[in-house]
Amino acid sequence: MNTGIIATRYATALLELVDETGSGSEVASQIETVGRALSEVPEFQRDIDNPSIPSARKLGLFDASLDGKMAPDLRKFVELLIRNGRVGYARRVFTAFINEYYRSRHIKRATLVVADPALLATDPASSDPKAVGSQRPDLESRLRALIEKETGDGLILRTKVDPSLIGGFVFEVEDTVLDASVVRQIDVIRHQLKEMNRRIV
């Protein structure tokens, strides 16, 4: 059977379960944590794919990625995947679940990467020293307000600091990327100079 179909079926079943129990927020958060572990730790995926490793050990790997605090509904679901021989599809199932969970709740997920952490701090709205207490929302708040205004959706925003950007920021929401970094601007200028040089030659 097509792996995409399998992932969708199991993801839908989990979505129905958390809708019934009201555990969606907790399960979604934990699934994102487990998903990152599956992506970043090759041994995790390798071991759950290995048929010689006992089911209890596989379940323990999921539990360990959550510091032993796996939500009851997620535990039941992982046990089901293991019992049905589908645990190797966990990463695909979790991705399908997360996408549908947030879509159904009108929530977008985004990442904001800045070169300078000061961009994430609230800053003065005016250089006028008389403007006491006047503040301008930080970049994160402004982007959040923009998305909510334009789409009507809520926003879950992760922030990172990456000095290699030199300056500015990169904002990614679903399939859209806004690259306002200095390093990107330098790349554009470098490309333009190369094109000019070709025309001159």
- Digit-coded pLDDT (tens) for 27-57: 999 999 999 999 999 999 999 999 999 999 9
In whole angstroms, give the CA distance from residue 67 to residue 137.
36
In the prediction, which pLDDT does 185 show?
84
In whole angstroms, give the CA distance from residue 141 to residue 67.
31
In whole angstroms, give the CA distance from residue 159 to residue 173.
12
Is 99 found in the same domain as 140?
no
- Digit-coded pLDDT (tens) for 171-184: 998 888 889 898 88
Is 115 found in the same domain as 180?
yes
CATH number, domain with residue 16: 1.10.520.20
Is 47 found in the same domain as 35?
yes
- For residue 109, how far is the Cα from the chain centroid? 6
- Digit-coded pLDDT (tens) for 97-132: 999 999 999 999 899 999 998 888 755 444 444 444
Query: Has residue 134 got a pLDDT over 60?
Result: no
Is 147 found in the same domain as 68?
no
Cα radius of gyration (the chain): 22
Query: Has residue 141 got a pLDDT over 70?
Result: yes
Average model confidence (pLDDT) for the chain?
88
